[in-house]
Amino acid sequence: MTQLEHDHADREALAAAIPMPGTDTPLARELADNARRRIQLTGRQFPKPTSQRVLTVANQKGGVGKTTTTVNVAAALAQSGLKALVIDLDPQGNASTALGIDHHAEVPSIYDVLVDGTPLLDVVQPCTTVENLFCAPATIDLAGAEIELVSLVARESRLQKAIAASAESGHEFDYILIDCPPSLGLLTVNAMVAASEVFIPIQCEYYALEGLSQLLKNIDLVKRHLNPALHVSTILLTMYDGRTRLSAQVADEVREHFPEEVLRTTVPRSVRVSEAPSFGETVMTYDPASSGALAYLEAAGEMADRGAAGPT
């Protein structure tokens, strides 16, 4: 057995030792469940991917959990021993805020990388609450980039070139997650050219699948014309509400369409998840024992296991 397998066996034994509570007390059941999952998950070291993974977190609907998913999955990967970079490609800069990264107008940002050709590593800042986690912030300048990019050479592949150049300088991240704006413009196209994987968060709500076909169509266009490697590798169901039939129905429907891509873990709707950004923290440090943090840790673990098993 490898060290990782030993560690896994120990955790399973410990988790199995927690007694099963009666099913008549939902709260006790949830607490015991969380305790068991915490032992199974927290402090576990995730395996490295066979090669650097670059994922574009996309969905042209706003408010579906792109930013929340980006920062929390990246934090979970970093806490579990992998080196992770979040590229904030949304002019609103929500990912930068959520990671507690300074992004006022004068800060060197992803705008400088895209428009002026500044090296990516010159704008990357470490996240102070999570070791191994880094962020290329977005400032308000980025709002103009969508238009400024139009007249530049190789306008679709500027982010891809910047990432490739940083890897050549010997600075490799295990995971790069790109947080996209809620549109399918040039910024999102740059993200899709830079990544080989698309990671789609889907909110377990009515109309969840509406607009998905447009996103898939665009992915296909980018694949055919700009980036043959591009594919949807990962789908995460977010804001799942266990009390409604609707959430379960949406989840079933998405799993039926994308059996390979959807992660087993679903992220529950949780107040702690939505509170964390106002403290400049991810839920992974804000409340690591909460059900939201555990879900993101579990989802990140699934992704890491897939990444270690070979090309995804």
Which of the ranges 62-70, 104-112, 121-129, 301-309 carries the binding residues for ligand ADP, by CB under 6 A?
Answer: 62-70
Helices and strands counted in the chain (H then E): 14, 8
Nearer to ligand ADP, 166 or 270 (CB): 270
What secondary structure letter does DSSP report for 20? P
Say how many Å lie between the first and final Cα of the chain, rounded.
25
Question: In what order do the strands lie in the sheet containing 53-57?
Answer: 125-126, 133-136, 84-88, 175-179, 53-57, 197-203, 231-240, 262-268
- Per rule CB under 6 A, is residue 64 in the interface with ligand ADP? yes
Q: Which of 40, 60, 67, 247 is close enough to bind ligand ADP by CB under 6 A?
A: 67
Q: CA-CA distances (angstroms) from residue 287 to 115, 135, 258, 274, 291?
A: 38, 21, 31, 11, 9
The site partner of 267 among ligand ADP, Mg ion, none (C-beta below 5 to 8 Å per kind) is ligand ADP
Nearer to Mg ion, 66 or 83 (CB): 66
For 6, the token pair is 């030993």
Which of the ranges 119-127, 165-173, 269-277, 303-311 carries the binding residues for ligand ADP, by CB under 6 A?
Answer: 269-277
What secondary structure letter does DSSP report for 56? E
Nearer to ligand ADP, 166 or 295 (CB): 295
- Name the minimum Å distance from CB 295 to ligand ADP: 8
- Per rule CB under 6 A, is residue 97 in the interface with ligand ADP? no
- Per rule CB under 6 A, is residue 270 in the interface with ligand ADP? yes
Question: Where do the DSSP E strands lie in the chain?
Answer: 53-57, 84-88, 125-126, 133-136, 175-179, 197-203, 231-240, 262-268
Q: Which residue is nearest to Mg ion (CB)?
A: 67
Q: Which of 36, 53, 61, 66 is close enough to bind Mg ion by CB under 5 A?
A: 66
Instruction: Give the binding-site size for Mg ion (rule: CB under 5 A).
Output: 3
Which of the ranges 30-38, 39-47, 56-64, 158-166 carries the binding residues for ligand ADP, by CB under 6 A?
Answer: 56-64
Which of the ranges 33-41, 188-196, 246-254, 267-275 carries the binding residues for ligand ADP, by CB under 6 A?
Answer: 267-275
What secondary structure letter does DSSP report for 22? P
Q: Pairing relation of β-strands 125-126 and 133-136?
A: antiparallel
Residues in the site for Mg ion, rule: CB under 5 A?
A: 66-67, 94
